[in-house]
Amino acid sequence: MSFTLATWNINSVRLREPIVLKLLEKEAPDILCLQECKSPIDKIPLEGFQALGYTHMVARGQKGYNGVAILSRLPIEEAGAEDYASLGHARHVAARLENGVTIHNHYIPAGGDVADREVNEKFGQKLDYLTEMRDAFHASKPEKSILVGDLNIAPREDDVWSHKQLLKVVSHTPIEVEHLAEAQDAGGWVDVTRADIPEGQLYSWWSYRARDWNAADKGRRLDHVWATEDIAAAAHGSRILRCAR
């Protein structure tokens, strides 16, 4: 069974419901994974999504912060949720399709502004989250799975607008890249976006501080789609929708 999937840090599903509906109407992915929903589950505006055929949802909600949801036109069942680093945050939820494929939707902590856990608790939480994720994959290697979401790390030099200028900036520091790579390797995950688009600058997030973000093009690839080796070869056709920014 083939299907299409999109992932998006929506930064409040309630405030930005109209642009979610616009994306669903225009692109019509079979599955949409949202991060930073900033809403309790019972406040997620389902009526509009259901009217477009997205009648299935699994989610973890949190008032005003975090929150992850998987909307689907295909039948799904809940497949658990993890609280890595014991933060008590709604940062992960999983759903299983009828064909047995499990989709993991993650919103990894951003990590604050200072890349030093001794002075910035949030940076330490980010590293701990990644470490526990790695250890979980070592303990139980995932199979027939897809992992998506805002992982808040741009790992490659061509995943950022300036490797040199961002080396000490949270999201592209060597220690974050190392932790993400360890988690990826532990799970045997394939970066299917880069398998589809192996070369060249590639961004999924742009600074909102630029007067014209599109012209400035100071981006980072913080959003990812991974698949386990047993199904990765079936993935193809990755795109980043700048228009949804």
pLDDT tens for 7-29 read 999 999 999 999 999 999 999 99
pLDDT tens for 151-203 read 999 999 999 999 999 999 999 999 999 999 999 999 999 999 999 999 999 99
pTM: 0.97
Task: Give the integer Cα–Cα distance in Å for 127 and 31.
Answer: 29
Task: Give the integer Cα–Cα distance in Å for 233 and 237.
Answer: 12
Q: What's the average model confidence in pLDDT over 41-64?
A: 97
Please name the helix (run of DSSP H) or strand (run of DSSP E) that holds residue 34, with its range, or none.
strand 31-35
CB atoms within 10 A of CB 199: 7
Q: What's the average model confidence in pLDDT over 76-88?
A: 98
Task: Give the integer Cα–Cα distance in Å for 14 and 21.
Answer: 11
Task: Give the integer Cα–Cα distance in Å for 70 and 103.
Answer: 9
pLDDT at 2: 92
Q: Would you say residue 142 has pLDDT above 80?
A: yes
pLDDT at 27: 97
Q: Would you say residue 132 has pLDDT above 70?
A: yes
Q: Would you say residue 55 has pLDDT above 90?
A: yes
Task: Give the integer Cα–Cα distance in Å for 77 and 191.
Answer: 25
Q: What's the average model confidence in pLDDT over 196-214?
A: 92
Pair 126, 152: CB distance under 8 Å: yes
Q: Residue 211's pLDDT band (boundaries 50, 70, 90)?
A: confident
Q: Would you say residue 107 has pLDDT above 70?
A: yes
Q: Would you say residue 245 has pLDDT above 70?
A: no
Alpha-carbon Rg for the chain, nearest whole angstrom, is 17
pLDDT at 87: 97
| Helix residue ranges per DSSP H, 188-241 | 192-196, 213-216, 229-232
